[in-house]
């Protein structure tokens, strides 16, 4: 008898696409908005980056077709790992326990939010198609 677990619901291609979308959006926002307007370590920059994570998680959840929450959450957490690695390389003095905790909690929440939104919209569209 085969038992299914959460790894069976993971769609790594969808997660990779979601992470790539989030990182591309972060780079674009940095180059087009944050740098030209000299917006650095303020809450506006944090909110914009978090929205990029939510968009990437949405893409991941949408492409996964099943377990949108799980795939979106994974995209958010992998994005947090990438962001942490970039911070370690660029500004290692900013890495402390509180910042790492904030990073993973907020990216995880945005990942879950993006995944839930993708799943909700997909479910609604399927329900309307069956009417």
What mean pLDDT comes out for the span 3-32? 89
Which residues are CB-neighbours of 19 under 8 A, at least 6 positions away? 56, 60, 75, 78, 79, 82
DSSP the chain: -----GGGG--HHHHHHHHHHHHHHHHHHIIIIITTTT--SSHHHHHHHHHHHHHHHHHHHHHHSS-HHHHHHHHHHHHHHHHHHHHHHH-GGG--HHHHHHHHHHHHHHHHHHHHHHHHHHHHHHHHHT-
Residue range 32-68, pLDDT digits in tens: 988 888 777 678 888 999 999 999 999 999 999 889 9
Chain-centroid distance of CA 101 in Å reads 16
d(CA 77, CA 74): 5
pLDDT beyond 80 at 8: no
What is the per-residue pLDDT for 14?
Answer: 95
More reliable by pLDDT, 7 or 82: 82
Instruction: Grade residue 1 by pLDDT with cuts at 50, 70 and 90.
Output: low
């Amino acid at each position: 008898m085969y038992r299914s677990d959460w790894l069976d619901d993971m769609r790594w291609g969808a997660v990779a696409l979601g992470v790539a979308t989030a990182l591309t959006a972060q780079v674009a926002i940095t180059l087009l908005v944050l740098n030209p307007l000299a917006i650095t370590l303020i809450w506006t920059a944090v909110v914009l980056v978090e929205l990029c994570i939510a968009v990437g998680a949405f893409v991941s959840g949408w492409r996964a077709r099943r377990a949108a929450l799980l795939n979106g959450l994974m995209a958010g957490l992998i994005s947090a790992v990438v962001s942490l690695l970039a911070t370690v390389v660029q500004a290692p003095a900013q890495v402390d326990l509180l910042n790492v905790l904030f990073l993973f909690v907020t990216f995880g929440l945005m990942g879950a939010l993006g995944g839930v939104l993708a799943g909700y919209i997909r479910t609604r569209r399927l329900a309307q198609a069956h009417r």
